[in-house]
Chain A
Amino acid sequence: MNWAFELLGLRPDADVADVKRAYARLLRITRPDDDPEAFQRLHMAYKIVLAHISAKATAAIMPTPTVVTHAEPTSRPPVQLALPTHADTTNVTEPVVHLGTLTNEIIRAAIEAQNSEELSRWLKNRPEFWSIQIKQQAAQLVLQRLFQQPQAIAAHCMDAMLKFFDLDHVLSGVNPVALQSLRARQRTLWELRPENHHELARRAGLMHNGRPEVLRVRKDLALLQHPLNWARVTLAAMQSKRAHGLAALVRTLSNNGRLDELPASVNRQHAMFWFRGATGGPLLTRERFILHSLRAGVWAFVTMLAVVVIAMMSAAPDGVHWSEVARVAGILGGGILVLWLLIAGFWWFDLWQGMPESTPSRWPWLRRLAIPLLCVLSFAMYETGNAPYMRWLVMMCFIAAMRKFRRRIAGNGSFFARITASTPAFIWISVWIIAALSRAQGMEDFPLIPILALATFAMSIADLWRHRAYLHPRLARN
């Protein structure tokens, strides 16, 4: 700040008139159109000094607040005055007092308004707001109160209100991200009111024949209000559509996955379970594993039960061979569970090794080389001849490598990225090429497995080359 006083050639006890005189004098030698940089510095110094003087002036009169606060534009009643009666009793003659009541009225009008036009009309017709100062203060108060306690206000009403109070611009002093979040929270509260459930259904995408499924939303909301209960979860998990619907609902209620913004009436733990368990996407979360394990368990149980029932119905005349039935049921049920675990294992492996290169990991080289190593290993075992089932492992490596390659190329828009847009498409292309080749060669025992192993290798190396910048900084320079 000293530099500012020095630049203007002022002593620290200068008053506003001195500052202006000094600024005007210096401005004659540093005109804005002649020397922009010097002018900028001069102007900044001028503003700093003016701000300093006015701050000093306010600090000087602060000790006698009884006189000043009435004239001070920034003095507002404490925001805790939620009850208008309380505000009325504290200071009766102050014009500021009405602000408390006015704020409550604005919020009530915003909650009760049917549409944004009605609210705008209400706001425009209030004579108080013709006064610029009252309008500004009321706007600040309303916003403070809403930040403390969000209300059920529809998004379009909120927008109309922000527009009227001119708070929807970037320099209003309100954090735009916080404002967006407040708006989203209030919209959710508004949609949670029974008469607005159709809006919630529409936004969550729970539609049937182009009409929002209000009843389904009500049922799901009721479920989400209960604490997490395994019986209910198992029941809902069996209906895949319902599980996805619940996840979509939680996503909508939580402003796209911001779970700490969920409304208070929803059980957070319960909502989080469905959100993490049934939202689409590649991640294998704990909840997702639990959900699918539950499903697999139920299917295994049902299969075993079916085996027992069939055995009893088609019972041989000499009674049921219980040991035989138990063996069949055990194999079937266990088979289902083992199959699920295998799928989950592959799922996990596929995700782990296919993560973007920038994700931090403990053994980056193990992740990069997992597929080539596994492929070499299984191919060697297959070729040595004593493990024909290893061909499945080679195929798995091929699929994983391809998925990784495709995932990492995504968004690139190139020809290759487009034709490999989905796994089935890629497999079909491979199958057709292989079939055509084998037909052309007239070969009976086509070397499928070596070709797959080679392709896996090629893709791994191409992927490594594409991400060479991550291997060593020197490789980053192209």
Chain B
Amino acid sequence: MIVGIDLGTTHSLVGHYGEEGPQLFRNALGEYLTPSVISVDDEGHMLVGAPARDRLISHPNTSVAAFKRWMGTAREVQLGKRSFRPEELSALVLRSLLADAEAALGEKVQEAVISVPAYFSDAQRKATRAAGELAGIKVERLINEPTAAALAYGLQERKEGSRFLIFDLGGGTFDVSVLEMFEGVVEVHASAGDNYLGGEDFLDVLQTACLADLKLRADDFSPVERGLLRRRLELVKRSLSQQPEVSVEGQIGKHDIVWRIDQDRFLQLAEPLMQRMRMPLERALRDARLRPDQLDEIVLVGGASRMPLVSRLIARMFGKLPLRHVNPDEAIALGACVASGLKSRNAKLDEVILTDVCPYTLGVEVGQRDAQGHVQNGLFSPIIQRNSVVPISRESSYYPLAERQAKLSLKIYQGENPMVDNNIKLGELEITLNPTLPIAKNEVVVRFTYDINGVLQVEATPKASGIRHELMLQQNPGLLSDQEIRARLAALSELKIHPRAKQENIALLARAERLFEEHLSARQVLQQWISHFRQILETQDERVILEHRENFSHALDSLEAQV
């Protein structure tokens, strides 16, 4: 069985392509969205999703969120006794999603299509694949998030011959793709983005402004209090999408927080972030060789695109209002389901074909001799230009700089800057030349092959000798090797995870603990409720637990509504 997964910065979703088209699965708590948060409880059990997010407030030291932003780096985080890499944290989320899918489908899931931001780099993509392997599944394909959104949107609307721009502002990443649909072909023209721009950054801006207004510093709060403040501000950010003015009142730790903000102020604060969104939009459009008026529609997806300022930005730049996707949170996951259907060659999808692009420019370092014989080194010579359709294979010829040069070192880079120093180095290849030949005859043909999954293969052949030098770019510093993946897979399997049946009880307790931190006035009551519910859980009598769970849940609901 193959499923589609949206592994997001803040939320993750899972689904498959079923009889009635794409269909999402609910998690143990009955929701489609599973927060991408991991926590470890006192007994060493791993918690994923809503209970972990609640524990982010009550136990900030043993909980972690937004780890998608570290994918592709070697950063590790300490949770309880063990330290985790971002791949492992993602794998835990994936495992929980797969358990939901298996519960709904009643069969084992072996393969998945996972969505990644279009602008994810090589290292980040490989880290996502590794996460899939750690979760015990085969990642059949990585699909770009805007492309997935386009698949979901386009197939739903069935608009023939239209060009549109997908604006995907998620929790931590920003992506833009320009696409065209005709005759059942979904053709991506160009993608651009910013891997470190998302809803979280808007929240940071709010937090900085709030603390500055109240003349406080982040160090004035304990980790728990900081989490509480952030949660309040998150609510403020959400409310600002509907109300012109929002205020926060209450006590956090020793500090009384009284703060109000209106939409104009927020707009002003978010101005630098809006400026950062301009460049990818312009670049995507220019690379697609389209004028703004040639776009039929601009579609917003991703939770953070709900903010009204996004619509304003689009209106200012394109002179037209964007179209909001019915459910911006689910669009990508639905698209990933469609992609999984495509992968398994679902009969109903047979007429849909997707062509995607490589979002980065790939090339080599070269030196160039000018008219006066000065050599300028460190120039970037592109071989595969960004936004070329994949799979692609391109070759270019290079010559030694000096007469009688005996070897040539080919340094492979990814990036957009004309100088290689500002780009990312992917690898290096040493090529021996025949020094007795004149420069013009010492040609080296370099071929780059970029496949549909984003793996780059480099081949260099000196024409004179015809000996091929090859390099597969799969190992990056900061990435796990196959061996390490196997070792870590074994280690992850030993982690204790609560059975799915208990999830609801755990979620309820975590929620009660969060409320305990949030509401100073109701602490005593909550304390009693929590210990009471714990006692009932120990009886292990299913019927009694079910009954009490209902009551407990209602009580918590009314408490939350009250304050």
Within 8 A of B (CB), among A32-76: 32-33, 36-37, 39-40, 43, 73
Within 8 A of A (CB), among B472-489: none
A132 to B281 Cα, complex, angstroms = 9
Contact digits for A399-428, partner B, Cβ 8 Å, 1 yes 0 no: 000000000000000000000000000000
Asked if A168 is an interface residue, CB under 8 A from chain B, the answer is yes
Query: Which of these binds chain B: A20-28, A272-280, A306-314?
Result: A20-28
Q: Are B317 and A179 in contact (CB under 8 A)?
A: no
- Residue in B382, B406, B436 with the greatest tally of chain A CB atoms within 10 Å: B436
Instruction: Report the interface size for chain A: residues with CB under 8 A from the other chain.
Output: 44
On chain B, which size bracket covers the interface? 35 or more
Asked if B258 is an interface residue, CB under 8 A from chain A, the answer is no
Min CB distance B401 to A, Å, is: 11
Min CB distance A71 to B, Å, is: 9
Q: Are B374 and A256 in contact (CB under 8 A)?
A: yes
Residues of A within 8 A of B215 (CB): none
**Residue on B nearest A44 in the bound complex, by CB:** B389
Query: Which of these binds chain B: A6-14, A95-103, A104-112, A170-178?
Result: A170-178
**Residue on A nearest B279 in the bound complex, by CB:** A166
Min CB distance A38 to B, Å, is: 11
Q: Are A27 and B353 in contact (CB under 8 A)?
A: yes
Asked if B370 is an interface residue, CB under 8 A from chain A, the answer is yes
Asked if B451 is an interface residue, CB under 8 A from chain A, the answer is yes
Q: Are B403 and A358 in contact (CB under 8 A)?
A: yes
Contact of B382 among A37, A170, A257, A258 (CB under 8 A): A170
Q: Are B417 and A24 in contact (CB under 8 A)?
A: no
Q: Are A40 and B393 in contact (CB under 8 A)?
A: yes
Asked if B344 is an interface residue, CB under 8 A from chain A, the answer is no
Q: Are A124 and B275 in contact (CB under 8 A)?
A: yes
Query: Which of these binds chain B: A209-217, A374-382, A468-476?
Result: A468-476
Within 8 A of A (CB), among B374-421: 374, 376, 379-380, 382, 385-386, 389-393, 402-404, 406, 415-419
Asked if B183 is an interface residue, CB under 8 A from chain A, the answer is yes
Residues of B within 8 A of A232 (CB): none
- Residue in B318, B389, B419 with the greatest tally of chain A CB atoms within 10 Å: B389
Contact digits for B173-187, partner A, Cβ 8 Å, 1 yes 0 no: 000000000111100
A84 to B291 Cα, complex, angstroms = 27
Q: Decide yes or no: A132 and B374 within 8 Å by CB, A170-B416, A476-B435 being known contacts.
A: no
**Residue on B nearest A51 in the bound complex, by CB:** B289
Within 8 A of A (CB), among B333-379: 351, 353, 355, 361, 363, 368, 370, 372, 374, 376, 379
Asked if B286 is an interface residue, CB under 8 A from chain A, the answer is yes
Q: Are B292 and A170 in contact (CB under 8 A)?
A: no
Contact digits for A126-145, partner B, Cβ 8 Å, 1 yes 0 no: 00001111011000000000
Q: Are B374 and A257 in contact (CB under 8 A)?
A: yes
A20 to B370 Cα, complex, angstroms = 44
Q: Are B283 and A166 in contact (CB under 8 A)?
A: yes
Min CB distance A413 to B, Å, is: 15
Contact of B391 among A21, A32, A135, A171 (CB under 8 A): A32
Min CB distance A300 to B, Å, is: 37
Residues of A within 8 A of B318 (CB): 132
Q: Decide yes or no: A258 and B372 within 8 Å by CB, A32-B452, A40-B391 being known contacts.
A: yes
Residues of B within 8 A of A171 (CB): 287, 361, 382, 385-386, 416
Min CB distance A127 to B, Å, is: 8
Asked if B434 is an interface residue, CB under 8 A from chain A, the answer is yes
A20 to B163 Cα, complex, angstroms = 13
Which chain A residues have a beta carbon within 8 Å of chain B's beta carbons? Answer: 17, 20-21, 23-25, 27-28, 31-33, 36-37, 39-40, 43, 73, 124, 130-133, 135-136, 166, 168-171, 176-177, 179-180, 256-260, 357-358, 469-470, 473, 476
25 A-B contact pairs sorted by A residue (CB < 8 Å): A17-B161, A24-B182, A24-B183, A24-B184, A27-B355, A33-B391, A37-B393, A39-B391, A40-B393, A43-B389, A130-B316, A132-B281, A133-B292, A136-B282, A170-B363, A170-B416, A170-B417, A171-B382, A176-B379, A257-B374, A258-B372, A469-B436, A470-B404, A473-B436, A476-B435
Q: State the 9 A-B residue pairs at the shortest beta-carbon distance, nearest first.
A: A24-B183, A176-B418, A169-B416, A36-B391, A358-B403, A358-B404, A473-B436, A130-B316, A24-B185
